[in-house]
Structure 1
Amino acid sequence: MADDEALVFDDLDMRMGQTIHLISSSKSGSAGNDCILLGAIPDESLILTAPSSGVFPSVSEGESVIIRSLQADGVVLFDSTVLFVTDVPMFMVYIDFPTNIQFKKIRNASRVHVSLPVLVSNLTTKANAAAVGKVCDISTTGAALEMSESVGGVGDNLSIKGKFKIGSIQRMLAIKGVIRSRKTKKNGAFVYGVEFHEGDEDDLIILFGFIFNAMAFGKIQKIR
């Protein structure tokens, strides 16, 4: 798919049981909730239900909603309307079948601005205790770190520990990488360009989801 393009539903790789994200467009500042795609009636409606947590956003018939879905290489977004809500034979929400679907490609090099507190350890020298800093921007292949103290030089391997949040899920990750650049700011802070090592598949999925979440919301993600 192109970087940004309009799609039809048949272009999407969406399957029954897939987790998607529903946001109420009428509730200002709503972060939305995960839900499960239960099925579809072609050209008429999509059928959603609550995830295993049982939590589903409060919606009413006629309400406008936004649906987000993570695809293999990007983010799918479309507007819809709640058609019908029922709890017989189980809780289900019918929304209007999407006609205006937008796709935004996430490249490996796509970076998003974040403000993410982290603990950084030098795995090469092992000389210093973990230092506190923050990730300023991040992609699936690397990140920019801002540190108040030096944590190493170009070529050193680092461990970067932080809480990565996707919706209501928060996961502590320890991502390993190598310093590719090092600069000093006028205020004395150190800025490092770090390239990530290929790591555990589960960690990469969380990282990809974090970046997808930040891109889809289009704002700086602050985690405390």
Structure 2
Amino acid sequence: MKFEDYKLPFGYPLSLEGASAGGVPFKFASKVIGCIPGDVLILSHPRAAKASTLRPGQKILVTIMAGNGVLAFASVIDQIIAQPRPLVFLTYPTKLSFKEIRGATRVEIRVPIEAVCLSGLVATKTTGVITDISTSGARIELTESIGDIGGSMEVSGAITIARMEEKFNFPAVIRSRVERSTRESEAEFPAIYGIEFVEVPHSQRLLLYAFVYSLLATK
């Protein structure tokens, strides 16, 4: 995939790793400000970095938590400006590596859901299905796009445990977005997201664990 395919929103956090002119290693927090695909990537200047630490021509390793893994690429600082705000311009990444990190085993399912995006001024609703789930997150396919990476949402529906139907409502954060091909975009559920469950109430957390482990027991 190309960097722009990850659709990281402006303000998305990342890390810059490298070494100073004296050979002292560093790792600074920064954020995505913008980009011109194929040309330049624009980042905020790390607050913790001294003016002389970062310099044009310096090689940098960029790491980003994206979806269920870590996205990394090497780049070079092209330019640094101080006004109207401190910004770092990097050469646009051409080679990307992605290491998947999953904290829990996922199981394939197909459960109808309603998804509500809570990040905008007005809550946006749509329908879809959960296609795989773990105790920490899920993959969902929706009838339309409703949010960006880093946005908050809730997914709700009904699941069956020991022949009993239970209602669920799981708060989540969008961690990744998968773009279908042109042909696949005509599918019933063209918008695909990877979500992480966050701040799930205790009773709903117990329901989630019971559901996932009951599925694993049948595999």
TM-score (norm. length: structure 1) = 0.48
TM-score (norm. length: structure 2) = 0.49
